[in-house]
Structure formats: structure tokens, C-alpha cells
Amino acid sequence: MSARGFGGSTFSFMWGEPALGAMRRLRALGLNDFDVILAPGHCWPAELSAGERSELAAALRADGIRVESLNLPAIDLNLASCVAEVRAQAVSLYERALELSADLGARAVVVVPGRVSGLFPPPQQASERWLAGSLEQLLPVAERLGQLLYLESHPQTPIPTSGAIERFLATLPHPRLQVAYDVANAEFVAEDQPDALRRLAPRLGQVHLSDGTRTRWRHDRVGLGTVDFRRTLRALADIAFAGVMVLEIISATPIEDFIASIDALA
């Protein structure tokens, strides 16, 4: 087993233990540069006082653990909502996430770019306008705190594909707004991941690795789906990607599945 410098997500641990314990277990596998899921009881801004944030940051440094990014799963958030009050609440929570990221010495916050109904979504231009307005409020906060925003490719958003993301980013050419490209999400929307990575290379900040298929939306261990990791990793090498490749395995048996994924990628 060789982790080869991969990062890891704490997603599978979010309901079972605090983030620090999860990172310590994944660090023992050779992973580092973590994408930490924000959830109450796991890691949540409102539950951490200034003193507790300092203690957590000190513990991370003592263990040699690097937090690359914080990640709000956006189950209850929508930066592209048609309701102004919902967008305002989402912006406020992302602001708190950016503050916590800075306190912990992390680089970025992963942003799910809204949610739209699969049955009868708003007009595309309206959804993108609402999303852009939310991001325009967050970007000055990110700049003040020295943070990045990683816009995640996600099938439930108004911009689910690399082409849609590229067109949207052309309207927001801010250097602190980059992309977190998720290969399993891309597989579910039937996208060719190597082509997408080359398309997004100028704005690519982070890559999420897990397996899935074009018929089931999953984040399985590598080898259980149809993602072509050989071509994907070759594309990342071709574009000289220097960011973090995060193993985002969502599983009831995460340690076993992280180990299997590391072995498969090696």
C-alpha cells in the first residue's frame, strides 16, 4: 500500500466521530491534506470557540496533519435558490466556514454551486444569476481571509458539467474562485473526465477521486464502478496538476475501502 501523496475526505466519518480522530486514522494510512466535512458533532463552526479552534490547530500541527479544505455538504444549503432568504443563510454559513478554514490553517472551502429541481427547475439564466450573486458576496470574504473557493462539479446543481462550469466561470474571472472536479459526479452525468480536466485546467484547484457509474450516483472505493482512473490520472499528469487529489470514499467500512482504493491507484 502506498498513498502516493493523496488527500482524504472525512465524509464517511461525519456521523460517527470528530474530524480530528478521523484524520488521525486516515493519516495512519499515509493520507494527508484533508478535505474536512462540516457537520455538527464532527466539525462545525458554531461548536468551536476561539480557544477550541486554537487547540485544534495546535493538535493538527503537532500530528503533522494538513487540512486542505473544509466542505459543507449543502444538504440544507442552496446558493442558487430562488428565495433570497435561503441564499442569505447559505452565504452566512459559508462565511463561517471560511473563517474556520483560516483559523485551522487550511487553504480553501469547497462550495456546492446550488441545487435545482430535476423535475421543473427555474430558468437556467436565473439560477446562474442567483448563484453568481451569492459567490460575489463570498469572494471578498475569501480574499480578506486568504482563502480559496473550490466550486465543486455536482450533478444536482445548475452547472453540473465541465462545459457549464467553464462558461459560468468566464463570467466570474476571480483568481480565488477555482474548481473542485469530482470524477464520480462526472461519471454520473456521463462526462469524459480526462477531456473535462484538460478543459478546466486553468481553474482547477482540487480533484475528488472515488468510483461510480453512469446509472447510480455513488462515491465507492476505486474498482467498484466505471471511472477510468488510468486515463484520469494520465490527464492530471499531462496538465501538470499540482493541487490535491482527495480520496472521497463514502462507505460504511471506510478504512478498508480507503486501503483498497490506495492499492488500486498505486
The distance from CA 247 to its chain's CA centroid, rounded to whole angstroms, is 10
In this predicted model, what pLDDT tens digit does every residue of 205-233 receive, in sequence order?
999 999 999 999 999 999 999 999 999 99
Over residues 59-80, mean pLDDT: 95
The residue type at 169: L
pLDDT band, residue 4 (cuts 50/70/90): low
* Mean confidence (pLDDT) of the chain: 96
In this predicted model, what pLDDT tens digit does every residue of 169-209 receive, in sequence order?
999 999 999 999 999 999 999 999 999 999 999 999 999 99
Whether 77 has a pLDDT exceeding 90, the answer reads yes
pLDDT the model gives residue 3: 58
Three-class SS state of 83: coil
Over residues 123-141, mean pLDDT: 98
| Rounded CA separation 126/181 (Å) | 24
Whether 122 has a pLDDT exceeding 50, the answer reads yes
Identify the weakest region by mean pLDDT among 2-16, 26-40, 65-79, 245-259.
2-16
Over residues 144-152, mean pLDDT: 98
Question: With contact defined as beta carbons under 8 Å apart, do 218 and 184 qualify?
Answer: yes
Nearest to 174, CA basis, from 151, 193, 190, 206: 151
- Give one DSSP letter per residue of 130-156, joined into a string: HHHHHHHHHHHHHHHHT-EEEEEP-TT
Whether 75 has a pLDDT exceeding 90, the answer reads no
Whether 48 has a pLDDT exceeding 80, the answer reads yes
Residue found by looking up cell 471578498 in the block: 140
Tell me the three cell numbers of residue 147.
482563502
Whether 1 has a pLDDT exceeding 60, the answer reads no
Q: Among residues of the chain, what percentage have pLDDT more than 70?
A: 98
Question: Could you tell me the domains of the chain?
Answer: 7-265 (3.20.20.150)
Over residues 44-71, mean pLDDT: 98
pLDDT the model gives residue 74: 77
* Confidence (pTM): 0.96
